[in-house]
Amino acid sequence: MTQISTQELLILYVYGEISPEDRARLLMELSANPGLQDELHKLKEIKNALQDAYVSPSETSVKIVTQYIRNTTEELHEIE
């Protein structure tokens, strides 16, 4: 089974597509990480802005954002 990154879990959470197990894991991480809470807040703002503009992200856009998140996650892990 492939583990989903925290950033990917945030996106799933914002769109209500997260499993109960992953939701519990994410909520634990959120409670201990103010930076992650900020990321969640920003993602919610982006989602709301998209809904307000009646724009749904294209599959290509989602792929680009997901790849960016993966790259950022890898870079953060290299720093640690």
User: Does residue 45 register a pLDDT over 90?
Assistant: yes
Q: CA-to-CA distance for 59 and 62, rounded, in angstroms?
A: 5
Q: Could you give the angle at which helices 34-52 and 6-14 cross, rounded to 10 degrees?
A: 40
Token duo for residue 28? 């634990």
Q: What's the confidence (pLDDT) of residue 56?
A: 73
Q: What is the pTM of this model?
A: 0.61
Domain segments of the chain as ranges: 6-79
3-state helix, strand, coil in the chain (%, to 5): 80, 0, 20
User: Does residue 40 register a pLDDT over 90?
Assistant: yes
Q: CA-to-CA distance for 31 and 48, rounded, in angstroms?
A: 23
For the segment 2-23, the average pLDDT, to the nearest whole number, is: 90
Would you give the DSSP letter of residue 59? H
